[in-house]
Amino acid sequence: MTVSTASTVTVRVLLFGSYAEAAGQTSLTLSVPAPATVASVLRLLRARADGARLPERPLCAVNLAHARLDTAVSQGDEIAILPPLAGG
């Protein structure tokens, strides 16, 4: 468990489908400078090998609901990066 200070928020990031395959993992924990948004999580993720192949504007969810890139992210949130949906 990563300890976060007041100046960072620690979030759990989930990867699915082709994104998980490309990253070689399905989940990771990130500490992001506060105040954090989905976009800042993506920036940090993209700087790592895990997220280097993510598209510019992937679909994202925060705590089980679709989110925008400017959606605020809080300590303990679950951020999911979603490949193009293919249900049905």
Partner 1 sequence: MSFLSDQPLDLGALVARVTAPERGGIACFVGVVRDHHEGRRVLRLEYSAYDAMAEAECARIASEAEAKWDVRVALAHRVGTLEIGEAAVAMAAAAAHRDAAFAACRYLIEQVKRRVPIWKREYFADGTVSWVEPRQTARPAEAPAEARPGTPPPPDHTGHTDWGV
Q: Could you list the residues that contact partner 1 (CB under 8 A)?
A: 14, 16-18, 21, 57, 59, 61, 64-68, 71, 80, 82-88
Nearer of residues 6 and 57 to partner 1, judged by Cβ: 57
- Contact between 56 and 68 under an 8 Å Cβ cutoff? The reply is no
- Smallest distance from the beta carbon of 57 to partner 1, in angstroms? 7
- Smallest distance from the beta carbon of 4 to partner 1, in angstroms? 23
- Contact between 2 and 76 under an 8 Å Cβ cutoff? The reply is no
Rounded to whole angstroms, the Cα distance separating 22 from 33 reads: 25
